[in-house]
Structure 1
Amino acid sequence: MKLFYLVTLLFGLSSLSTTLAAKSFSASNLYYAAGLTDSQSTTFLEGLQSAGVKVLRVWLDGQSGTVKGTPINGFSSLQVDGPDDWDDTVLNRLDSFMVKANKYGIKLLISIHSYNALEAANDFYGKWYGTGDFYTNTDAIGYFKKRIAHVMAHVNPTNNKPWSQSSEYIFAFEAQNEAMHQQENPSALTSWQCTMAQAIQDNLSGNTGILVTTGGGAYLSNSLLDAYFSCDALDVLAIHAYGTGDFATNALSPYVDRAKDAGKMLIMQEWGACYTDASNNNCNGGSALNSGTRDSNIGKWAASIDAAGIPWFYWQILPNDDPHQGWDYEVGVDDVNWEALKAAGLAAGNADAAFDFSAYLL
């Protein structure tokens, strides 16, 4: 009888452990979210919610015209012609967007700058420093710290709190999308990344409800540089990967173990399934895949990332049909392949996670 009770107790504890295991989640990117109209954002957020999406990653770089088939309300870059030439339109737009997203159970990951803007000289950083000096010039580093402070001190009129204290709306901050993309000077990059992560932490002023993350790299291994694991200011290390080998569970698992040992968490911050038969890491050109083949690719690659216990952010879910332009990974809400991506997103929310993000999600 005692043995029976012991077995029952152990089984109950095992079941409780399984029940309480942290769950993963799905997320997405939309770099021009600040340009959506109210009706576009409603369609978009309803779609994200139906797919179980918990976080949306957005950027602060200027956009205008029609982007990925979405006719948007244009907005300028946050800093235009100089370090003190502020245009807060993008911040003001995102104030209302993040409040609306909250009602759909979604928080934002704020990318404070992008290498893309730097490379294209869309703001003064690219014009003054280019992609080389930006990471090493003392003035550039100082100006960028002021940019971080400006963004995080911005007050949302709905809650009357600065973004740095708005954990009900914001999941995480990152300094730059794909910083030093080609990694010509890794030591300078890792120093810059940790310096800016510390600047973000300093501006959080002790608020532990918002995470600090990197902005990924070009593929798995160069997203997770050695120095990132020992940078105390970084909470999350972000992976960007489009090569299918980088989606494999056995490729991801060693990094999961290393992150756990270092007290870090991982996210697959960008990944996608090519619409065409071009190489997945060079999805530019080629002929359209059979929709069933792409559905299968989305499902199996998402499941492989899930099996490693890493939450993922798809590149990108659109509020409209995908126009099938170059580098075509996008899936539109209710468009071809949407049901497959929606199913994958919901499955991610039921998958066991290697990291517990529950305190940072709605």
Structure 2
Amino acid sequence: MIQLGDNSFVLVGQDNLLYTCPTAASTIGCLQIKGSGSVKSIGLLTDKKTLLGVGMDGYLYTRAGLYGNWQFIPNSGTVIDITVLSNGVILGTGPDLKLYTRQTLTSNWVFIGACCVYSTAQLDDGSILGVGQDNKLYTRQTLTADWVFVPDSGTVVSVASVGYLPTTGIPDYTSCTKGDVCQSSGFVCCLGKLDLESQKYTCRPSGAGSDCFTATLSTPTFAGVNSYFIANLPVSNQQYLLSSLQQAGITVVRIFITQFGVNGKNTLATGQPDLEPTTIGVYNDTVLTNLDSLLALVPQYNIKLIIAMHDRWNLDNTWGTCDAYCLKYCKLDPTTNKCTSQGGAGSFYTDPTAQQSFDNRLAYILSHKNPRMNNRAWKDIPESIYAFEFQNEAQGSLNLPNPDWWCTRATNLKKLLSNNGIKIGTGGGQTFADSIIDNNFNCPALDLIAIHNYDPSAWSLLPSAVDKAIAAGKMIVIEEFGLPSDKAGTVAAIAQLANDHRVPWMPWEVSTVSQPGDFEFSPVDGDVWNALAKYSKFAV
């Protein structure tokens, strides 16, 4: 054990890595020291600069301060524990539980005729403290004296001397890596609120008034993905994707109830009409029937679905789909591909009849019975469904004509759901700012506030989103993000940012076919898939 200049401690963790901890009595607030493994025991040489460690191979290693590299000491094995005595002599415990000394780092071990302890430490008076085979404490006044039993001292497994290492950490306001120790007392290595886009960590003041982004959420977290086409793919393709996602640690997949074209984005999508292709209230169940089989399949892979029950971009044919709501409220002119109605697609969000018709659609979906799952209604299948969302990116590009639209839908939908764990989500806004409007955080019926963001500069809004979520007791999820280039780097950066603050994350999007220059990636894209798997492990 080593005490630093700021009164924190350097300890060996159960994973044999080094940690800095605020106190020696608790692991709360401990931070891992990068590149510090793997050692069984540590001490501090008398130069007050060099760490001495026992490697997993039983040999000695030295390290220049907290951040140097471990250097192997030849002919220094084999020991399981070391204590650096005040006179510079190194006391080692061998695998045979006998004690040995070496006068210098490079001298030989010399047996001193003492047995049998697991661990030693030197007390302030120069005597030696040891843990016996009965896990009780013993002392000896000198190296050659006899062990004396310490009454009422069991049961312990290890003891340690405390060496004092003056803090020589990272200078204030300079770049650091999370887990580094900063030079000045009261400074921590953290992500500044203005550095969210660059993800640059620096040594900054902690405590009241700090500009460190430290707010974290206590709500559940997960790693997920969007997979637009999975619901319309052949079963073998679905199984391939789900198996790959499960192996990568993904537990939630987001899908859409919408029209699909045949072979969309070069996939084997079979194609299907929308639930309401041409007339509001006249339902074509093909899309629901196709999803029945996926709902029955996902529990086998410990995956649940977030189901977006409509796509805002179908309201004005943005991506080539003009459904029944588009035909009625946008009144699309096929020659100009623009809405001709007064208010355009925005009238869908303000017209009371449109809202009632849309609520009917949502109720129809929730009450659809799945013959593959004991004829249960979708609203009663929590093992397959994580959340229902009303619409993808509602009111996008329309200046939010009805900010209460989400809450009204949620309040009506909540009446249909039992308390079985299925959540009600927003489906995100077109931008980060649209995604985190106060109306949604203040809505009792909304469970999940989804954030969509493709603008790297907008990640500076994350502190506000986290603060709002904490204050409102809401769960947030970074539900859509991505870039058509450097997909691996983007997944890594945003997943790390999200994991740091316990926010679930879901990149756009996983497919069976990669699209160079576009957002899609597949399990064969090693770099991005490896990033997905790497960071999903920490989204727990």
Q: Does TM, normalized by the shorter one, top 0.5?
A: yes
Q: TM-score range by the shorter chain?
A: 0.7 to 0.9
Q: In 2, Cα distance between the equivalents of 1:139 and 1:33?
A: 33
Q: Shift in Å at residue 220 of structure 1? A: 1.4
Contact 2:491 2:507 in 1 (8 A): no
Higher RCO structure, 1 or 2 (CA under 8 Å, sep 6+): 1
Distance across 2 between alignment mates of 1:349 and 1:203:
35
Equivalent residue number for residue 299 of structure 1: 492
Preserved CA contact (<8 Å) 1:183 1:189 = no
Alpha-carbon deviation of 1:87? 0.7
Residues 281 and 361, structure 2, Cα contact 8 Å, conserved in 1: no
The letter for the 2-side match of 1:329 is: F
Aligned residues: 314
Provide Cα deviations, 1:280-322, integer angstroms capped at 9, x if missing partner: xxxxxxxxxxxxx5533432232122223211111001122x1
Counterpart-to-counterpart distance in 1, 2:463 and 2:413 = 29
Q: Note if 1:331 corresponds to 2:533.
A: no
Q: Is residue 410–residue 445 contact of structure 2 (8 Å, CA) maintained in 1?
A: yes
* Aligned pairs for 1:68-79 within 5 A: 68-79=265-276
Cα offset for 1:79? 0.8
Match of 1:126 among 326, 329, 340: 326
Conserved? CA contact 2:523–2:529, under 8 Å: no
In angstroms, what is the RMSD of aligned CA positions? 2.3
Q: 2:354 aligns with which of 126, 132, 140?
A: 140
1: distance between equivalents of 2:356 and 2:275?
16
Report what 2:107 is aligned to: none
Question: Which of 2, 15, 26 is the matching residue for 1:11?
Answer: 26
Matched, 1:266 2:445: no
Which amino acid letter does the alignment assign opposite residue 354 of structure 2? A
Alignment pair present for 1:43 and 2:245 = no
Identify if the C-alpha distance between structure 1 residues 342 and 106 changes in structure 2 by more than 3 Å, giving closer, same or farther: farther
Counterpart-to-counterpart distance in 1, 2:248 and 2:219: 19
Give the partner amino acid of 1:227. N
Q: CA deviation at 1:334?
A: 0.9
Q: What pairs with 1:203-352 in structure 2 (closer than 5 Å)?
A: 203-204=416-417, 206-247=418-459, 251-275=461-485, 294-320=487-513, 322-324=514-516, 328-335=518-525, 338-351=526-539
CA distance in 1 between counterparts of 2:490 and 2:361 reads 40
Aligned to 1:358: none
The answer (yes or no) to whether the contact 1:151–1:163 under 8 Å persists in 2 is yes
Decide whether the 8 Å contact of 2:515 with 2:521 is kept in 1: no
Residue 264 of structure 1 deviates from its aligned partner by 0.8
One of 356, 360, 364 as aligned partner of 1:150: 364
Q: Is the partner of 1:252 in helix, strand or coil?
A: helix
Q: Is the contact between residue 24 and residue 349 of structure 1 (CA under 8 Å) also seen in structure 2?
A: no
Aligned to 1:54: 251
Structure 2: any 5+ residue segments left out of the alignment?
1-21, 31-217, 331-344
Q: Is the CA contact (8 Å cut-off) linking 2:389 and 2:425 kept in structure 1?
A: yes
- Counterpart in the other structure of 2:155: none
3-state SS of the aligned residue for 1:11? coil
Distance across 2 between alignment mates of 1:202 and 1:217? 24
Whether the 8 Å CA contact 1:108–1:169 is kept in 2: the answer is: yes
Change (3 A) 1:82 1:259: same
Name the SS of the counterpart of 1:71 in structure 2: coil
Residues 48-107 of structure 1, C-alpha deviation per residue, up to 9 Å, x if partnerless?
Answer: 112211111111111121112202111110012212321111111111112111111111
Q: Distance in 2 between matches of 1:56 and 1:67?
A: 19
Give, in angstroms, the shift of residue 8 of structure 1: 11
Q: Which runs of 4+ in 1 moved over 6 A?
A: 12-15
Distance 1:346 1:201, change over 3 A: farther
Cα gap change, 1:74/1:294 in structure 2, threshold over 3 Å: closer, same or farther? closer
Preserved contact between residue 303 and residue 348 of structure 1 (Cα < 8 Å): no
Higher helix share: 1
Higher strand share: 2
Pairwise CA distance, 1:136: 1.1
- Which residue in 1 is equivalent to 2:42? none
Counterpart secondary structure, 1:343: helix
Take 1:241 and 1:340, find their aligned partners in 2: how far apart are those partners?
19
Give the counterpart letter for 1:230 in structure 2.
N
- State the Cα deviation string for residues 151-203 of structure 1 (Å, max 9, x = none): 0000111232111111111000010000010242x3x4322111111122111
Q: CA deviation at 1:122?
A: 2.2
**1:110-125 paired onto structure 2 within 5 Å:** 110-120=307-317, 122-125=322-325
1:82 aligns with 2:279: yes
Say if 1:294 and 1:61 are closer, same or farther in 2 by CA, change over 3 A: closer
Residue 29 in structure 1 maps to residue 226 in structure 2: yes
Please report the TM-score for the alignment, with normalisation by the length of structure 1.
Answer: 0.80
Aligned 8 A contact 2:248 2:536 in 1: no
The SS at the match of 1:167 is: coil
